[in-house]
Amino acid sequence: MSVASLPRIAVLPSQVADQIAAGEVVERPSSVVKELVENALDAGATAIDVAVEDGGRQLIRVSDDGCGMSPDDALLSLERHATSKIRRAQDLVGVRSFGFRGEALAAICSVSQLELETAPEDGAGTYVRAAGGAVAENAAVARRRGTTVRVARLFYNAPARLKFLRGARSEWRAIVDVIGSMALTRRDVRVSLSHDGKPVLVLPATSSLRERLAAVYGASFASRLLEVDDVSGTTHVAGLVERPADVGTGTRRTFVSVNGRAVRDAGLVRAAEAAYKSTIPAGVRPTLFLDVVVAADMVDVNVHPAKAEVRFRDRWQVERALETAVRRALGTFEAGATFSRGWTFATHVASPPVSPPVSSIDSLHDLRATPPVPGGGLFGGEHMRESAGAEPGASPNAAPDVPALQQWRRTYIAFEHEHGVVLIDQHSAHERVLYEAFMRDLESGAASGQRLFFPLTLHLGLAEAEAFEQHRELFARLGFEIEGFGGTTLLVSAVPMPHPRFDAERCVRETLAALTGDRETGVHARHERLAATVACKAAIKAGEPLSPAEMRALFVALRDTTLPAHDVHGRATIVQLTWEEIERRFGRR
């Protein structure tokens, strides 16, 4: 193109500018729903009714009982950059309302046939009709306080955009997601949703996330989630997360809000997921519903057209807070599986309206801070340092705060608690205890093992011998003294002694067999792998009788671990049956 024929610059007519802006804000029917619902929330609505037809492609109607608008404001609201929510650029810092740009209604209006009906408290009602951004009718009406916006034939004047709409089904699903996430963000608002004239969802207002989840996803789903509530520095994290024992058994759902705004933020989700490490198998991901509250000036909400992403001044701090909060929740005894899991009678019994928070044995986790008791025989060894170190000679029977324990089936340690009956799987529990002790040894230096009176000679396969060579130094840190005698023969002269019945030869053989072909290169991951493998092989097995002192020592050691309720493979270590549940089954409730 020659310079002479360069077209002149012209400022676009506002309708064209609005259509261009609409491309960013209004992607599909669900974005219209999101903007209208956010406006209703900003207007202080306590009830919002959403009705759509044909997946929102023909009609979207959002009604609220919020503050409404005066006749002048009703007209202004359709103009670009018309907002009541901020006045100056500074107001953007820490802005609390969902909207602040003053462009959503203008953008929607420019690509649809829009009707607006609104009235402030005791004020004059206004009706405005517009098409393609141009006002066609403006009249007074009588109506109660609040606002109704009808958006018909979205993209009727933008054929290129219309082509990109999906089928009604798919657009409808996106709308349901928007409403679901709004309903979780603002539990205090009553929400209803209908499709093609049929009511689909009615959510009463509530103050509790669990109740809202029960209304959205069902009471049994909601009642199984574990409560998170924790403050780190200036960051408050609260919500409900899946018990590790349940992860992978149903549809995975995640929801994160930051200062009351639902956000899509993979980094925050990953941080919360990191808390599950060593409690669930690799590859499965937990369900999470988390509200994050940070100081308003720590977060910039004006970085995404649909405000679905935020930017943090110190993201690392927020992510650590999330991980810590979730980890703390998983680190309680409550985090163990409950018997309601898989209970088939449940389907025949009318479910209670909305379950109260899962009854918990919460006084137990307070005990984790109490001084450890002297360990008894089986668990008094090197890897029970914390418990073995206290008051030599004191009788373990005098252990404070340890309930009366019984061994059942030579496999479970059972005890009664204020809120129910609790079972601990002795192998899983011991495995968890040893895993954490081995990890400390691997990460922090060397543990000393116990010399064997008669060193063991092991003849291995080639693969096992190679696995040993790869892990030689790490075995030493765990307290093993092993020499390779060339080729495939090993001489074991010292071993860690996690308990007197420890079968060192079998443990080394099985560990090496499990490690053959291990190509893990990350140092920490290698430590985890080895610690988990040795812990699994070294832990007492199901079927081994335990003395009362041994049970107490295991109980105390487990209580001191970071994740007592889960073993290294993500299976439950602790299972509880609440009195409430027992009473229900006996028909006492």
Q: How far is the CB of 13 from ligand ATP (least distance, A)?
A: 19
Q: In the complex, which residue's CB is closest to Mg ion?
A: 99
Cβ 205 vs Cβ 188: under 8 Å: yes
Closest separation between CB of residue 292 and ligand ATP, Å? Answer: 21
Near ligand ATP in 126-165, by CB under 6 A: 147
Q: Which residue from 186, 33, 179, 184 is spatially nearest to 96, judged by alpha carbons?
A: 186
Q: Which does 100 bind (CB under 5 to 8 A by kind): Mg ion, ligand ATP, none?
A: ligand ATP
Return the closest-CA partner of residue 436 out of 537, 527, 333, 542.
527
User: What is the number of the residue whose Cβ is closest to ligand ATP?
Assistant: 99
Q: Is 49 in the site for ligand ATP (CB under 6 A)?
A: no
Q: How far apart are the first and last CA of the chain?
A: 84
* Number of residues lying near ligand ATP (CB under 6 A): 24
Residue from the set 19, 30, 31, 39 that interacts with Mg ion by CB under 5 A: 39
Answer for which of 17, 47, 75, 82 binds ligand ATP (CB under 6 A) is 82
- Cβ 50 to ligand ATP, closest distance in Å? 12
As measured in angstroms, the least distance from the Cβ of 160 to Mg ion is 25
Residues numbered 17 to 36 that lie near ligand ATP (CB under 6 A) are 35
- Residue 101 contacts ligand ATP per CB under 6 A: yes
At its nearest, how many Å lie between ligand ATP and the CB of residue 386?
A: 55
CB atoms under 10 Å from CB of 575, counted, come to 18
Q: Which of 19, 30, 31, 83 binds ligand ATP (CB under 6 A)?
A: 83
Burial of 309 (0-12, 13-18, 19+ CB in 10 A): middle
Q: List, in sequence order, the alpha helices (H) in 54-127.
A: 71-76, 104-110
428 Cβ contact list (under 8 Å, min separation 6): 567, 571, 572, 573
Calpha distance 351→369 (Å, rounded)? 37
Give, in order, the Cα–Cα distances in Å from 490 to each of 447, 449, 465, 474, 493: 20, 17, 8, 15, 10
User: Which residues lie below 8 Å from residue 131, measured CB to CB, with a gap of 6+?
Assistant: 112, 113, 114, 157
Q: Which residue stretches of 247-391 are H helix?
A: 266-274, 315-330, 362-366, 385-388
Among 104, 290, 442, 572, binds Mg ion (CB under 5 A): 104
67 binds ligand ATP (CB under 6 A): yes
Residue 279, interface with ligand ATP (CB under 6 A)? no
Residue with tokens 């608690």: 417
Nearer to ligand ATP, 100 or 172 (CB): 100
Residue 106 or 424: which CB sits closer to ligand ATP? Answer: 106
User: Does 99 engage in binding with Mg ion (CB under 5 A)?
Assistant: yes
Contact code string over 373-392 relative to ligand ATP, x by CB under 6 A: --------------------
Contacts with 151 (C-beta within 8 Å, 6 or more apart), sequence order: 32, 36, 59, 60, 61, 108, 112, 113, 114
Residue 113 vs 561, nearer CB to ligand ATP: 113
Residue 66 binding ligand ATP, by CB under 6 A: yes
Distance of closest approach, residue 148 Cβ to ligand ATP, in angstroms: 8
Residue showing tokens 């940070």: 294
- Contact window for Mg ion (CB under 5 A) among 101-109, 209-217, 328-336, 354-362: 101-109
Contact 107, 167 (CB under 8 A): no
Which residues, listed in sequence order, are joined to residue 194 by a DSSP beta bridge? Answer: 51, 199
Pick out residues in 295-334 that bind ligand ATP (CB under 6 A).
none
Among 50, 69, 490, 557, binds ligand ATP (CB under 6 A): 69
Stretch that binds Mg ion, among 22-30, 34-42, 113-121, 128-136 (CB under 5 A): 34-42
Rounded Cα–Cα distance for residues 99 and 42 (Å): 7
Establish if 40 lies at the interface with ligand ATP (CB under 6 A). yes
CB under 6 A: which stretch of 80-88, 314-322, 498-506, 578-586 binds ligand ATP? 80-88
Question: Which position among 49, 103, 242, 291 is part of the footprint of ligand ATP (CB under 6 A)?
Answer: 103
Q: Where are the beta strands (DSSP E) in 333-397?
A: 337-338
Helix (H) or strand (E) holding 146: strand 146-152
Please tell me whether residue 83 binds Mg ion under the rule CB under 5 A: no
Name the residue nearer to ligand ATP (CB basis): 104 or 442: 104
Q: How far is CA 227 from the centre of its chain?
A: 10
Sole binder of ligand ATP in the list 31, 77, 126, 561 (CB under 6 A): 77
Q: Identify the residue among 64, 273, 323, 425 touching ligand ATP (CB under 6 A).
A: 64
Q: Which is nearer to ligand ATP, 42 or 436 (CB)?
A: 42
Separation between Cα atoms, residue 52 and residue 197, nearest integer Å: 8
| Partner interacting with residue 103 (select from Mg ion, ligand ATP, none; CB below 5-8 Å by kind) | ligand ATP
Give the range of 83-91, 247-255, 308-316, 478-486 binding ligand ATP by CB under 6 A.
83-91
CB atoms within 10 A of CB 76: 15
Q: How far apart are CA 519 and CA 207, in angstroms?
A: 50
Q: Which residue number, 85 or 315, has a Cβ lying nearer to ligand ATP? A: 85
- Does residue 413 contact residue 424 with C-beta atoms inside 8 Å? yes
Q: Which of 108/551 has CB closer to ligand ATP?
A: 108
What does the binding site for Mg ion look like in residue numbers (CB under 5 A)?
39, 99, 104
Residues at the interface with ligand ATP (CB under 6 A): 35, 39-40, 42-43, 64, 66-69, 77, 82-85, 99-106, 147
